[in-house]
Amino acid sequence: MSEAQLTPPSYLKYAFKDQHNLVVLFGAACFSLAFASPIPLLVGGSAELLWLLIGPRLPAFRDWVDRQLSRQYLARSESAIEGALGELSEPDANRFRELSRNATQLVVTAQARLPSREVQLAEHALLELRRTFLDYQFLRQRVDALVDATPIADREQEAEQLQHSYSAERELTVRMTIRKALNALQRRISQQTALAGVSRSIALRLEMLEGAMQYLKGRLADPTFELLAAEIDGALVEIGAAEALELTVDEIFPPSGIAQRVEPPASGGR
């Protein structure tokens, strides 16, 4: 995800809701009541207007708001991911956790040599990479549930036998029954062949996502390398999202509601 895709937060709203700002206003109101004079409240109100005029434009304040929103967004995302892991098998969940550990190590390395804003962008890009990995794991789970336990070679042999029976049969009603069974079997073989291709593609992309982590680790070793987030986004574009393969599965079989995706929270601070 690029910065252009994100809606900028209302810095004016956060300037007004800042706890220090509210404390000052409350204090001014208390002084006005205590001294039975509107002067403290007028002074506090003037300071409030000045703060609301200047504060939201200050780079330091904007950076602080962005960091707060980013932490909240990442925390909500991690909570959603943790809940989704319970739907995976233990080996798949452990595989995802290993990828997450590598992502954490990558962030720690980046913090030591990259600007804080670039690290923040990289954290969100790595979140999307991990979420993409999880999408492919759930898609593979769906595909595995659709795979026929009977090997395709056995189905092809069965189809060949039906074809011989059809050719040898002379009774029209029996021929129609055999033809119907043969068509159903050939359709099943076609579906399973296509499904096997999808399964291989999923396995490849999972390996590519894991390999991307090692590649990014090597790139960070280069002292001139700075655009980590852009590099992660580029890898995600190259690998592609799971939705395309999900559509392929939907074309092979009607949607069965098995597939799942970890949805991002409603808003982010990136």
Burial of 242 by CB count in 10 Å (0-12 exposed, 13-18 middle, 19+ buried)? Answer: buried
pLDDT digits (tens, 9 = 90+) for 175-184: 899 889 889 8
pLDDT of residue 140: 93
Average pLDDT rounded to a whole number, residues 134-158: 89
Which residue has tokens 């991307």?
212
pTM of the predicted protein model: 0.69
Q: Which two tokens stand for residue 193?
A: 């062949």
Domain presence at residue 193:
yes
Distance set, CA 249 to CA 212, 236, 253 (Å): 25, 21, 6
Domain presence at residue 123:
yes
Domain count, the chain: 1
pLDDT digits (tens, 9 = 90+) for 158-174: 888 888 887 888 888 88
Long-range contacts of 53-59, Cβ-Cβ distance < 8 Å, separation of 24 or more: 55/11, 55/15, 55/18, 55/21, 56/11, 56/12, 56/14, 56/15, 57/11
pLDDT of residue 202: 95
Distance set, CA 5 to CA 8, 14, 210 (Å): 9, 21, 26
Domain presence at residue 150:
yes
Structural domain of 160: 89-252
CB 213 within 8 A of CB 99: yes
Q: Which two tokens stand for residue 263?
A: 């949805």
Q: Which residues contact 215 (CB under 8 A, 6 or more apart)?
A: 235
Q: Which residue has the higher pLDDT, 125 or 4?
A: 125
pLDDT digits (tens, 9 = 90+) for 88-127: 899 999 999 999 999 999 988 888 888 888 888 888 999 9
What is the average pLDDT score of the chain? 79
The angle formed by the CA atoms of residues 13, 14 and 20, to the nearest 5 degrees, is 125
Which residue has tokens 């990289």?
122
Cα 6 from Cα 2, distance rounded (Å): 7
Domain presence at residue 15:
no
55-69, 163-177, 186-200, range with the lowest pLDDT: 55-69
CB 216 within 8 A of CB 208: no
What one-letter code names the amino acid at 233? D
